Chains A and B, each alone.
Chain A
Amino acid sequence: MDTKQAVLDILNELTGEDLSDQMDENIFENGLLDSMATVQMLLELQDKCDVTAPVSEFHREDWDTPNKIIAKVESLRNE
């Protein structure tokens, strides 16, 4: 499974919405994601995408849209 699909699946599970048509939507501003869901997302990413993103790595500005999350996951994987 590619990163994009994996991230979208995780987000779908957390927000209850398919975000594939709102890839640049700010998911914090529109209230889809909060701190709690973020933590879950980080844990899921650890499980399913095999990237370790500690909480300190998390800056909202870098993670606030589906596209940015995917980019971040890919860059963490290539580290």
Chain B
Amino acid sequence: MINIQPYSNPRYFVILFIALLPLIIGLYHGRRFKAYEAFVSLLFLFLMFNGKDWIQGVQLIGYIIFQFLVTFAYQKYVNSGKNKTSVFCLAVILAILPLAAVKIAPLVPNKAADLIGFFGISYLTFKTVQVIMELRDKTIKKVDPITYARFLLFFPTISSGPIDRYRRFKEDYDKAPERDKYIENLKFGTRYIFQGFLYKFIIGYVFGTLWLPQLAKDALFYGQANGGLRLSWALLGYMYCYSMYLFFDFAGYSLFAVGTSYFMGIRTPMNFNKPFISQNIKDFWNRWHMTLSFWFRDFIFMRFTFFAMKHKLVKNRIRLSQLAYFVDFLIMGFWHGLTWYYIVYGIFHATAIIINDIWLRFKRKHQKQIPHNQFTKWFAIFLTFNVVCFSFLIFSGFLSTLWFGWK
């Protein structure tokens, strides 16, 4: 049985390029072969869920059918002129239900529960919830079933994003780009894929595979010896090494996904923009895993504040934004998984961004007294970098291993 995980090895890229070649030639000549594109997508999905992962494949099919039922039932409801909040909430809850089940499953002490879930479900849920919300807002008037299926099952991004938006995707998918634009896509696509090789297979490999296990061993050893909070220099090393690994591995993957999309004439949005030169936490979330943080900004933070302001739930603007940050990052934490370190990671970032906001307000008021120069800029970058790396140490779950012996 052949089972090929996306972007996992050089062979995948060879197969990918061969499979995409007819599409590339078509797009170069201004034509999008939609049927062939669907065939390639399904083929790659099949390879991904073939063999040992077949149970996941079956769940993916069931999931898509379920989401179609929810989305189109809700569309029918909205188009009949009704717009009750309760029905909207029900639709959102139904759309999230499968993901919630997958997140709760690991807590159930039963062998069968381990089988629940499939690669990519977290990312698919962003897409379906987004469409339901936009249907309510009437910014999406009609969901085209075929485009919707292609949007959900777009294989370059299905496993871990970047998270595209339906309307943006549809615009690309409905046409073939002009030739000079497409040539530019190819140019960037190639660059991204090679940059991805450097990030994921070289730098990410060095940090993640060569150095990280040794640092983990040392941190556990010296942690035991030192007692207390089990801190050690090796733990500090682990923190930086893991942060670098996390970035290069995930940014590398994202570059593959974006690069492949570009070859297919779909300009999937970028996920990272030099996150480690962020000057504060707010800046960081505009640069790190951008499609995720922007999704949360647009569909959680802004909606929550809009609702709360409209109904005057919280009078004070600053309090409201702080509350909204907590809601935002807590949900993000839960989305990562129901373990203490993901939730603490969310709370940590909410706290950090609130402190950051207080500081920014203070700075604006005292612009004249507070120096602003090259030194303060680099200090801000240094400080942000360390706060972020510490948050990744929480996120890594290593502290759980170190302190409690489980992860």
Which residues on A are within 8 Å of B, measured CB to CB?
31, 34-36, 38-40, 42-43, 54-58
Contact = CB atoms under 8 A, between A and B. Distances in A.
A57 B305 contact: no
B309 A55 contact: no
Interface in B135-184: 137-140
B224 interface: no
Interface stretch (B296-304, B336-344, B383-391): B296-304
A56 B134 contact: yes
Given A35-B297, A43-B310, A55-B298, 17 more contacts: A34-B282, A35-B302, A35-B305, A36-B317, A36-B324, A39-B302, A39-B305, A39-B309, A42-B306, A43-B306, A43-B309, A54-B138, A55-B137, A55-B303, A55-B306, A56-B139, A58-B298
A64 to B, nearest CB: 13
A44 B189 CA distance: 42
B306 A56 contact: no
Interface in B286-327: 297-298, 301-303, 305-306, 309-310, 317, 320-321, 324
Interface of B: 133-134, 137-140, 282, 297-298, 301-303, 305-306, 309-310, 317, 320-321, 324, 360
Question: What are the 8 A-B residue pairs with the smallest beta carbon separation, nearest first?
Answer: A54-B137, A56-B137, A56-B139, A39-B305, A56-B134, A36-B321, A39-B306, A55-B302
B309 A58 contact: no
20 contacts: A31-B360, A35-B301, A35-B302, A35-B305, A36-B317, A36-B321, A39-B302, A39-B306, A42-B306, A43-B306, A54-B138, A54-B139, A55-B298, A55-B302, A55-B306, A56-B133, A56-B139, A56-B298, A57-B139, A58-B302
Nearest to A42: B306
B305 A36 contact: yes
Chain A interface, >50% SS class = helix
Contacts of B321: 36
Contacts of B360: 31
Nearest to B297: A35
Which residue, B133, B137, B138, B324, has most C-beta atoms of chain A within 10 A? B137
Contacts of B139: 54, 56-57
A39 to B, nearest CB: 5
A46 to B, nearest CB: 9
Contacts of B137: 54-57
Contacts of B133: 56
Contacts of B317: 36, 40
B129 to A, nearest CB: 12
A43 B306 CA distance: 8
Contacts of A40: 309, 317
A59 B254 CA distance: 23
Contacts of A58: 298, 302
